[in-house]
Amino acid sequence: MNQRTLGPAGPPVSAVGLGGMYLSITGRPEESAAIHTIHAALDAGVTLVDTADVYCLDESDIGHNERLVAKALAGRAERVTVATKGGLRRPRGAWTRDARPEHLVAACEASLRALGVATIDVYQLHAPDSAVPFAESVGALARLREQGKVKWVGLSNVSAAELAEASRIVPVASVQNRWNPGDRSPERDGVLAACTAAGIAFLPYSPFGGASGALALGQRKGLAAEAARRGMSPHRLVLAWMLAKSPVVIAIPGARRETSARDSAAAADVVLSAADVTAIEASF
């Protein structure tokens, strides 16, 4: 599988990774099936797994996906980069923000235990918290890095201005924002351009528009036709389109089934021309 660099000074990883969320939230598969899905991705060449402490059912289930990933990576962990996140909570199943430094420190310690590691490869601020100065949240991650608990720092759900502010505090390896055919805001708000210019990895989450969007992709007649013409699924074509937009893009699609994980992984080796990209975007 083709590889890309996770940030200016980060490791080489597969151009397509695996997002773990759907293996741990409502509707999640049985643990054995979830592990088979992770193994299918690894066998297809995936070397980046993205998780978070809040990929779970509720506050009592915090760390579920991290523990699942750790179990699946037993015996293979040295070949895989794991990115996790802190800064959210799951009270009664809701998604709320808490990027206070003290919460981030406690969340990082819990993630270290859940993943069974001494140092987290990539620790990402899950989202800015309007109740906390952004610099304080990023500063907490910088200190975790200085303490050796985190190798690289990442951000999620940030603006171009917030990325610039964070970069003055700590080297930023990655940015994870929402991006898909129905929400192309990173192409307009300057975040993708800023990442490209600085060599910061851009990890688009929800690349198919969520679970409902993934089901709807096949119903986009123009996109389906473009995919059929190239002998692939619309989902694989969307990921290939993202990879063609910038050399810093590393896709992290989620998957509940082995077949989905393998299909997504194959996008890393699809080569698209500028004319292909134009035709695909017209199909959106």
Classify strands 48-50 and 81-86 as parallel, antiparallel or unpaired.
parallel
83 token code pair? 């990115």
**What's the rounded Cα separation, in Å, for the pair 1 and 13?**
9
Name the region of 119 (left: φ>0; alpha: ψ -120 to 50; beta: rest): beta
**What's the rounded Cα separation, in Å, for the pair 235 and 255?**
11
| Residue 212 identity (one-letter amino acid) | S
Residues 37, 43, 49, 53, CA torsion sign: positive
**What's the rounded Cα separation, in Å, for the pair 176 and 156?**
4
> Do residues 257 and 34 make contact, with C-beta atoms less than 8 angstroms apart?
no
| Catalytic annotation present for 55 | yes
Q: For the chain, first and last CA: distance in Å?
A: 27
**What's the rounded Cα separation, in Å, for the pair 106 and 72?**
24
**What's the rounded Cα separation, in Å, for the pair 50 and 198?**
22
6 token code pair? 């996770």
In sequence order, the 6+-apart residues with CB closer than 8 A to the CB of 131 are 97, 100
**What's the rounded Cα separation, in Å, for the pair 93 and 204?**
24
Enumerate the active-site residues: 55
